Structure 1
Amino acid sequence: MWRHIAANALTLLIVVIFMAGGAVIWGKQQYDAAGPHEIGICIQVPSGGRMGAVSEDLASKGAISNALIFRLGADYTDKTQALKAGSFLIPEGASMREITDIITRGGPNNCGTEVVYRVGIARIIGEVRELDPATGRMNEVAEFDLADEARPEAYETVRAEDFTQYRLVVAEGVTSWQVVEALKAIEPLEGEIAEVPAEGSLAPDSYALREGDDRSAILEMMAARQASWLAEAWAGRQEDLPLESPEEALILASIVEKETGIAEERALVASVFINRLTRGMRLQTDPTVIYGITQGQGVLGRGLRRSELDAATPYNTYQIDGLPPTPIANPGRAAIRAALNPAESDFVYFVADGTGGHAFARTLDEHNRNVAEWRRIEAERANQ
């Protein structure tokens, strides 16, 4: 009898072991299988969040088939204690293992709402954008001018939310004064700015911001990036350029930046100024004259007067030889490279051609014909 009972017990134990093993295999298959959700979703993990709560949230959103298996899988792979706070995009069909990796890997938030502050030549714009997880695209919710005191309701709403991301985008050719004014107007930032950084010393680029970031620290980061770009370009410069220092290269790059917004033209525009410097010709460029008037504080908003072109000022390149004393804006990386690696050309003149680009000339006669054509285009547009 006891032998019979022992045999049955052993059989039952073997069955239980096999069942447990099968359950483990089944659970692992479920953990690694593609998820049930057919579109991407956003998951927010608060600071101090726990894997149990996250698993229930994922299950309620249809991202996982079983919250218990998700928790056990996270425990088994030693990921439970590695949970990170943030807002995460869970792609369609992501497995439980992939989701666990996403929410424990950390890094910048990649889902939810974003506020972008765009510093342009004429305006400083704020944009509220929200990610559509189904398409992966950012949709604009609201746009506003930072110079206005009023803020749209959508902006005030996202400012009060956790995990809202902030980004500063500085356009090529803006001045240091414009950057400082923008930073002063961005509410999530803190700290005073003692003085406007040297013109040309700030890198136009995209910068991730966080609530409470110090304004001066952001300027230091921008200056470090610009210094790095300039040093790299100076080290790889063409030989025999009429530029004595990286500072002179930065001045020329700022002029190139202000003279053309077409990427393909930068090196050709740079060649015109290099040719003029080499031949001892004056640069005769309007943006330097304008900077001498505005000192980079805003846009002139009108054409130059004859008296301004005739005035002897340090920035009037119709009146002075060589380069002005400082940059006239913050040039981007491409303009710096163009100034130090200009195209090979014999051009010493250029004028607008009506397409957004320029017509280049080797002689004054060619240039005068190009100018006459530009005047004709201007007249036609004025009569339309």
Structure 2
Amino acid sequence: MRRALRLVGALVLLAAALLGGAAFFVWRAVTAPGPLAEPAQVVIPRGGTETIAAVLRERGVIRDARLFALAAYLTRGEGPLRAAEFLFPAGASIREVLGVLREGRPVLRRLTIPEGLTARQIAALIERTEGLTGDLPPFPEGAVLPETYAFAFGDTRASVLRRAIAAMDQALAEAWAQRAPNLPLASPREALILASIIERETGVAAERGLVAGVFVNRLRRNMPLQSDPTVAYAVGQGMPLDRPLTRADLERDHPFNTYRNRGLPPGPIASPGREALRAAVRPEATDFLYFVADGTGGHAFARTLEEHNRNVARWRALTR
């Protein structure tokens, strides 16, 4: 009997030693540095542990998919493995990889919408942005604020669009609240329309207030705005023209043709940025009524038609 007890005890000790050795081996393997030579962003798909392990193995984050699956099972009490895009540090051990999958923050991608794009251009930009999912709802011209928006892989296009529209609503409300007195603008929408024209007229930050001042002066005098970008918008149907405007374009009967129609066009012609919005509601006080390109990327401003015609002649000489 004593011999039997001693044998059982010996077997128990041997089993414990084997288990302890195996546990030590597993722990050592799980905490050893991984194969990543440099940090890597990896999209982790929805699925079971085997699917995740296969992706990590393929991307070189781990060496042994079976060891990863075993470690995930043994530590399952620490939480589920999440599907998202994660950044894994160089040399990350399996233990560290599991920590990233359970507790790490997903990688944030960025979508930049430049100032002055039309709704059709913005829609095309959002549609081709990698990492976004789902259909893009239609949205009106000028509804989106040009800015950089962060998103996680798998976010919907609709969610990014909602944020961009909310940002424009807020920016326009803030600008309208700070408007100068006695503007010839009846509503925030009219300010948005004017800002879109200013945005398309000049890319020079220092000129926005002057351009706004010219258009405000013309509105006060009931003069046609005669803005080329409004005509280009009409001719291009919301997309950029690949040619100069012609006289026939300027004479075309269209609601957005500000050569034929006085006042503001019926809607925005692009999405203006914050600075163009500010310029529209706080234009520079000036008596300029005209401007034309000066050949340097900016514009020459004039108070009289005679002075403007001289500036036009200089511009035409430069373009010959």
Q: Is the 8 A contact 2:258 2:265 kept in 1?
A: yes
Q: Whole-Å Cα distance in 2 between the matches of residues 54 and 181 of structure 1?
A: 32
Task: Name the residue aligned to 1:294.
Answer: 236
Task: Name the residue aligned to 1:378.
Answer: 319
**Gap change, CA 1:242 and 1:54, over 3 Å in 2:** same
Task: Give how far 1:343 is off.
Answer: 2.9
**Gap change, CA 1:109 and 1:282, over 3 Å in 2:** same
> SS state of the match for residue 240, structure 1?
coil
**Gap change, CA 1:54 and 1:377, over 3 Å in 2:** same
Task: Name the residue aligned to 2:216.
Answer: 274
List alignment gaps of at least 5 residues for structure 1. 1-30, 65-71, 112-166, 380-384
Cα deviation code 1:61-113 (max 9, x no counterpart): 9999xxxxxxx9xx99x96x2754434335579999998875544443259xx
Letter in 1 for 2:235: I
Cα deviation code 1:157-190 (max 9, x no counterpart): xxxxxxxxxx654332222234445666779533
Task: Name the residue aligned to 2:193.
Answer: 251
Task: Name the residue aligned to 1:177.
Answer: 120
Letter in 1 for 2:177: A
> SS state of the match for residue 190, structure 2?
helix
Task: Give how far 1:365 is off.
Answer: 3.5
- Among 77, 86, 89, the alignment partner of 1:88 is 86
Residue 190 of structure 2 is aligned to residue 190 of structure 1: no
Residue 206 of structure 2 is aligned to residue 264 of structure 1: yes
Q: Is the 8 A contact 1:351 1:360 kept in 2?
A: yes
Task: Give how far 1:205 is off.
Answer: 3.6
**Gap change, CA 1:213 and 1:309, over 3 Å in 2:** same
Task: Name the residue aligned to 2:142.
Answer: 200
Task: Give how far 1:241 is off.
Answer: 1.7
Larger fraction in strand: 1
Task: Give how far 1:256 is off.
Answer: 0.7
List alignment gaps of at least 5 residues for structure 2. 1-30, 63-70
Q: Number of aligned pairs? A: 303
Q: Whole-Å Cα distance in 2 between the matches of residues 98 and 229 of structure 1?
A: 42
> SS state of the match for residue 215, structure 2?
helix
Task: Give how far 1:286 is off.
Answer: 1.1
Q: Is the 8 A contact 1:168 1:209 kept in 2?
A: no
**Gap change, CA 1:313 and 1:62, over 3 Å in 2:** closer
Letter in 1 for 2:185: L
Q: Is the 8 A contact 2:108 2:152 kept in 1?
A: no
Q: Whole-Å Cα distance in 2 between the matches of residues 62 and 211 of structure 1?
A: 22
Moved more, 242-251 or 296-305: 296-305
Q: Whole-Å Cα distance in 1 between the matches of residues 220 and 104 of structure 2?
A: 53
- Among 296, 302, 318, the alignment partner of 1:355 is 296
**Gap change, CA 1:214 and 1:44, over 3 Å in 2:** closer
Letter in 2 for 1:288: T
> SS state of the match for residue 89, structure 1?
strand
Task: Name the residue aligned to 1:239.
Answer: 181
- Among 331, 336, 344, the alignment partner of 2:272 is 331
Q: Whole-Å Cα distance in 1 between the matches of residues 170 and 108 of structure 2?
A: 28
Q: Is the 8 A contact 2:116 2:196 kept in 1?
A: yes
Larger fraction in helix: 2
Task: Give how far 1:244 is off.
Answer: 0.8
Task: Give how far 1:374 is off.
Answer: 1.3
Task: Give how far 1:378 is off.
Answer: 0.6
**Gap change, CA 1:87 and 1:303, over 3 Å in 2:** same
Q: Whole-Å Cα distance in 2 between the matches of residues 347 and 334 of structure 1?
A: 20
Sequence identity (%): 46
Q: What pairs with 1:1-384 in structure 2 (closer than 5 Å)?
A: 39-42=38-41, 47=46, 81=79, 84-90=82-88, 103-109=101-107, 168-180=111-123, 188-190=133-135, 196-207=138-149, 208=151, 211=154, 213=156, 219-297=161-239, 299=241, 301-305=243-247, 307-379=248-320
RMSD: 5.1
Task: Give how far 1:239 is off.
Answer: 2.4
Q: Which has the higher contact order (CA 8 A, sep 6+)?
A: 2
Q: Whole-Å Cα distance in 2 between the matches of residues 335 and 63 of structure 1?
A: 47
Letter in 2 for 1:88: F
Q: Is the 8 A contact 1:290 1:304 kept in 2?
A: no
Q: Whole-Å Cα distance in 1 between the matches of residues 304 and 97 of structure 2?
A: 65
